[in-house]
Structure 1
Amino acid sequence: MGNEVVRVENVSMRFRLDQNRVQSLKEFIVKRLSHQMKYKEFWALKDVSFSVEKGDVIGIIGRNGAGKSTILKCIAGIYKPTSGKITARGNIVPMLELGSGFDMEMTGQENIFLNGAILGYSEEFLKEKHDEIVAFSELGDFIYEPIRTYSSGMLMRLAFSVATVVNPEILIVDEILSVGDSKFQNKSRARMNELMGGGTTVFFVSHDIRQIKEMCNKVAWLSHGELKMFGSVSEVCSAYEAWTE
């Protein structure tokens, strides 16, 4: 693989969409046993291939439904592609559904250890980084309150603080920099820039082309599940902007 960190080879991803309007469990069982269940196939990704080198910051662009989040979830290992292969070298930290590993009844502090464990961090490491995480999140004494009392912004701030406490080799980010208020957004952007400057390879989805131009060095443009273009930021963004006008 040379300097390659991630290689995506002929990746396709199929989903089966349920088209049954079933009113009860009984109706579901009857239809299932009599093979009357109807499904529609949907290909979210079709034969996508590209490779990424260490330290690359890859912007992933495209309209809604283009397959952007699906390709991130495949690289993160959340989805197994229907066909094709993804090879990744290094530890991956996905910041996709922030806070999805949280327990609403537990305190913020307890969730640092819970969410950190889900992301693969050891208890010793989290104890060592605890104060840094709390300080970055700016939650103050709210860290000792159950997170069901948190606003969505507070929840995102805690999740972002836990996820970015390490210097991952591969970071996967989906529209993350809209976290919290503008002050925290600036801080989270600075943290992202720090990670990028430290040699972390980043996959980054955003609808904001200015943000892509500012933060990325390569861009993958997806359209209807297909890779329309992959290359330098200026080249791909210019083509995308001309296409969307």
Structure 2
Amino acid sequence: MTEPSVVVDEVHKDFKLRHTHSIKETFLAAVRRKPLTTDFHALDGVSFSIAQGEAVALLGFNGSGKSTMLKLISGVLSPDSGAVRTRGRVAGLIEVGAGFHPDLSGRENIFLNAAILGMTKRETEERFDDIVAFSEIEKFIDTEVKHYSSGMFLRLAFSVAIHTEVDVLLIDEILSVGDEPFQQKCLARIRQLHDAGKTLVVVSHDLDMVSNLCGRGILLREGNVAFDGDSKRAVELMRQ
């Protein structure tokens, strides 16, 4: 038996929702003794584990806690209680291009963003040509990113992330970027990574795509696990 890639153990995560947006509103609310904030229980004792090489979809409607869970697995957020443990290198396609600098060229941003994603300079150099070819923006690679269209930016950012040396790949709605041929190319690349034994954790509103890409679905409702099993069954339950 191999060690699991991801273990989520009794995880709780709360957020404070503010009800005022200015000093005046805050003052009036305080005078009227109205609450300034309320606690939102994003995750309420969630537990599951993901085996090495599994492809798992996190499903649920808006506010169910799925994106929060993905950020906890990535390390962007920390749980209020409980624990999240991961094995190997984890890379998140959560906020693609978040580390890009507009005044640097595409070439410079590849090295910058790859370093943020945990790659060494040597690893990036070895993959550089593949990253540029996948992005299909070779002619503009030495142009400052601030002159890129949104489509060019996302192509390059996704290409860097998808070529990262990774054990666990986290994907959040990223396949909605670009035109359909590029989306299909991205999906094919993700399937290649899964076939190579990488662990996938996917969040997407495209239920047909995730049920085909992932064998297992974890359905979250109001911060709790409502179902954990076959992905197609999880999608059926969502659609009821």
Is TM > 0.5 for Structure 1 vs Structure 2? yes
Q: Where does structure 1 differ by over 6 angstroms across 4 or more consecutive aligned residues? A: none
Question: For residue 6 of structure 1, what is the aligned residue in structure 2?
Answer: 6
C-alpha distance in 2, partners of 1:205/1:44?
16
Tell me the residue number matched to 2:159.
Answer: 161
Matched, 1:204 2:216: no
- The letter of the residue matching 1:154 is M
1:238, distance to aligned residue in structure 2 (A): 2.5
Residues 167 and 200 in structure 1, CA contact (< 8 A), matched pair in contact too: no
1:19 aligns with 2:19: yes
**Superposed displacement of residue 181, structure 1:** 1.1
| Equivalent residue, structure 2, for 1:56 | 54
Shift of 1:161: 0.7
Alignment-mate amino acid for residue 201 of structure 1: T
Q: Could you say what the CA RMSD is over the residues aligned between the two structures, in angstroms?
A: 2.2
Structure 2 gaps of 5+ residues are: none
Which residue does 1:176 correspond to in 2? Answer: 174
Identity over aligned pairs, percent: 40
Distance in 2, matches of 1:37 and 1:50, equals: 35
- If the length of structure 1 is used for normalisation, what is the TM-score? 0.90
Whether contact under 8 Å (1:44, 1:67) holds in the other structure is: yes
CA contact (8 A) 1:62 1:223 kept: yes
State the 1:20 CA deviation.
3.3
Q: How many residues are paired up? A: 236
Q: Which amino acid aligns with 2:127?
A: K
1:81-118 Cα distance to aligned partner (Å, 9 max, x none): 11111111110011101011111111111100110110
Q: State the match for 1:90 in structure 2.
A: 88
Separation of aligned partners in 1, 2:21 and 2:161? 39
Distance 1:97 1:21 in 2: 26
Instruction: Kindly state the Cα deviation for residue 194 of structure 1 after the two structures are TM-superposed.
Output: 0.3
Unpaired runs of at least 5, structure 1: none
Q: Which residue of 1 aligns with 2:193?
A: 195
Residue 65 of structure 1 aligns to a residue in which SS? Answer: coil
Tell me if the contact between 1:20 and 1:37 (Cα under 8 Å) persists in the aligned partners.
no
Cα distance in 2 for partners of 1:143, 1:116 equals 15
Deviation at 1:3, TM superposition (A): 3.5
Larger mean Cα displacement after TM superposition, 148-157 or 67-76? 148-157
